Structure formats: C-alpha cells, structure tokens
C-alpha cells in the first residue's frame, strides 16, 4: 500500500464505523481490518490492537460508570421515555466503545504499516493541498509538544513532592494541580513557538519547500484491491443501517 491508499482506506473504514447502526455492520468492518492487518501489518498487528484497547479502555470504564451505574438506561430508552434496563445501557456502552475501537484500530494499523517513515515523510507523500499538509505537520508537532509538556510538568511536581510517581491518594487530591501545570506549560511552549521560534527560524517557509518537493506516488496494485473492498464493505454497512 502507498500512504495515499492507506489514508483513503482508513478514512472509508472510519466513515463506515461512525455510520454503522448495528453489530453486524461493525463485525463486517472488524473482519475487513483483520484482513488488512494479516496481509499488510502481519506480526505487528497485535501492537495496533493493544494501543487501540488502551485508548478505549478508560472511556469504556467511564461510560459504564455513568450509563450503567448511574443512568441505568440506554440513549434510545431515554429518548423514548421508557423505564429501561441496565442491560440495555451496557449494550449501548459496548456498541459505542466497539465503534471507537475500530476507528482507533484503523488509524493504528496505518501508522504501523508505515512506521519506517517519519511523520513528515508520510505527510509529504500524501496527495493533499499544501495548506492541508502544513496543518497536519504543525498539528503533529503540537501534539509532540503537549507530550513534552506533560513529562516536564509531572517531573516538576514529583520533585516538589505534590504528586507521586505511582498511583496514590495524594495524586487523587492534587491531580488538579498537575492538570493546571500541564495546561500552562503547553500554552507557554505553543505561544513561544508561534511568536518567536517559528518566525525567527522561518519554519513555515522551509516547511512549504519541504512539503512541495517531489511528486506523490500513484496508487499501487494493493491500493486498487483494498480500496474497492473497503468501499464495498462500507456500502453494505450503510445499507444494513
């Protein structure tokens, strides 16, 4: 697969997962992703599944607490004004989390398929307007900046004795300090880059030259197989809904 073909494949799957209204539709998309993982990602596919589960698991726990433990009804039952059951609420939570799992899994499979490319090389290979490429690169850069901000804020608060390295009751009571510190650190770094660092280094001009260099690769034979299959599966899911 080429980066363009993989990006289109992931986009089609995401649209299908968001539009799916039944477990059968999600099962079709899950089978499609399993086939893509077996042929394109192969032995590294379990890493994509593990990452997707780690992303969805906190949301699943929170939604189960709210919908099953507190509300006790599904969204459809609330809209219909019926009493509802916790079992229906659990099924509703499971369906939403499974849908998100497929979305994250599709993105992670594409990431692992091209893990030998840097994010900048991957974006350069996409057939997109230069403005869209610039936004993608700057967004990825700011995400990495946020990760560094979290590490710096946590290290500073651990050194100050406000939070601990391992889970503890102190972290529960002082967690809001960590959130505020991360937010202020991230804002300071981003403002500094946009106001001082990027203009002084002419980052945007250099970035445009890099993104505009070379011609994106045409779709490969694998792309011409996976894209129609993904499109057909998504159309079946939409038709079943």
- Report in angstroms the alpha-carbon separations of 143 from 31, 45, 150, 176: 31, 24, 11, 21
- Report in angstroms the alpha-carbon separations of 114 from 12, 41, 96: 18, 9, 28
The percent of residues above 90 in pLDDT, for the chain, comes to 30
Average the pLDDT over 103-117 and give the result. 91
Q: Is the pLDDT of residue 143 over 80?
A: no
Token output for 189: 């770094």
Q: Are 148 and 141 in contact (CB under 8 A)?
A: no
Q: Per-residue b/e over 16-50, b at no fewer than 16 CB within 10 Å?
A: bbeebeeeebbebbbebbeebbeebbeeebeebbe
Whether the predicted model's global pTM rises above the 0.85 cut:
no
CA–CA separation, 76 and 105 (whole Å): 27
Please enumerate in sequence order all residues whose Cβ is within 8 A of that of 210, keeping only pairs 6 or more positions apart, or say none.
120, 124
Give the 3-state secondary structure of residue 84.
coil
What does the pLDDT look like over 71-101, one tens digit per residue?
Answer: 888 888 888 888 888 898 999 999 999 999 9
């Amino acid at each position: 697969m080429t980066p363009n073909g993989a990006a289109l494949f992931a986009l089609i799957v995401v649209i299908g997962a968001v539009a799916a209204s039944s477990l059968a539709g999600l099962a079709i998309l899950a089978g499609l992703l399993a086939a893509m993982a077996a042929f394109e990602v192969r032995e590294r596919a379990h890493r994509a599944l593990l990452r997707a589960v780690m992303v969805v698991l906190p949301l699943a726990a929170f939604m189960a607490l709210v919908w099953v433990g507190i509300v006790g009804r599904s969204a459809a039952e609330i809209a219909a004004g019926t009493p509802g059951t916790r079992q229906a609420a659990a099924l509703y939570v499971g369906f939403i989390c499974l849908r998100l799992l497929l979305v994250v899994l599709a993105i992670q499979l594409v990431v692992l398929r091209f893990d030998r490319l840097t994010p900048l090389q991957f974006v350069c290979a996409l057939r997109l307007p230069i403005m869209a490429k610039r936004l993608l690169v700057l967004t990825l850069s700011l995400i990495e900046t946020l990760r560094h901000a979290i590490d710096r804020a946590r290290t500073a608060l651990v050194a100050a004795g406000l939070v601990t390295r391992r889970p503890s009751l102190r972290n529960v009571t002082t967690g809001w300090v960590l959130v505020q510190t991360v937010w202020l650190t991230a804002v300071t770094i981003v403002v500094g880059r946009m106001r001082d660092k990027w203009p002084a280094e002419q980052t945007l001009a250099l970035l445009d030259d890099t993104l505009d260099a070379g011609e994106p690769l045409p779709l490969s034979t694998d792309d011409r197989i996976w894209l129609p299959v993904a499109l057909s599966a998504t159309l079946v899911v939409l038709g079943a809904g």
